[in-house]
Amino acid sequence: MIQLPRRSFVLGTLVFLASVWVLLFVRLLPLSGGIMGWPGPDLGLALILAWVLRRPDQLAAPVIVLAVLLEDVLLMRPLGLWTVFVLLASEAARLREPRWRDQPFMVEWLRVGVLIGLAMLGYRLVQVVFMLPVSALGQVILQFLATVAAYPLVVFAARWLIGLRRNGRNET
């Protein structure tokens, strides 16, 4: 007999997709008025990593692929390239989540910063190897710093606005 997905999984997935698509909508709004300033953080990536480290049971890999692939299409990035690196980073975090669960937040923040940095470095290396257009290194470094700095704010907002909390020690 086919077992239906649990209600918390379906509800968590729908809330995640709505959250990512709201962030993408805000990112696509023409708020800068033509002025190119500092790059903002990748809040979608920060939300994905925060969600995977707090409720890995609610976020399946195909959902991450769907959300980031749509972002690739709308932001006109190489199709699927950033998706692969986000998926690799999120699955690396998912594999380590049981060991990271009892660690202090500063350790989690450092580890997430390393994952974000590796994802951005891998993305840039593939772009260079295949001679795709790359953005300026300074802009990429600023976006990395902004994303890592925004991670605690994303975790705080996800906890208080969405109710995203860590699994307990006895939960899976």
Rounded Cα distance, 15 and 21, in Å = 10
Contacts of 115 (CB under 8 A, 6+ apart): 49, 89, 92, 93
* Domain assignments of the chain as residue spans, ordered by start: 7-25+39-162
The residue type of 12 is: G
* 78, two tokens: 């190489």
Give pLDDT, residue 30.
Answer: 79
What is the mean pLDDT of each successive set of 10 residues along the chain, which is 172 residues long?
69 90 88 73 94 89 94 92 96 89 90 96 95 91 95 93 72 51
The pLDDT assigned to 12 comes to 84
CB 119, CB 144: distance < 8 Å: no
Other C-beta atoms lying within 10 Å of the C-beta of residue 63: 19
Reading the block at residue 26, the tokens are 């805000």
Q: Report the distance separating Cα 170 and Cα 172, nearest Å.
A: 7
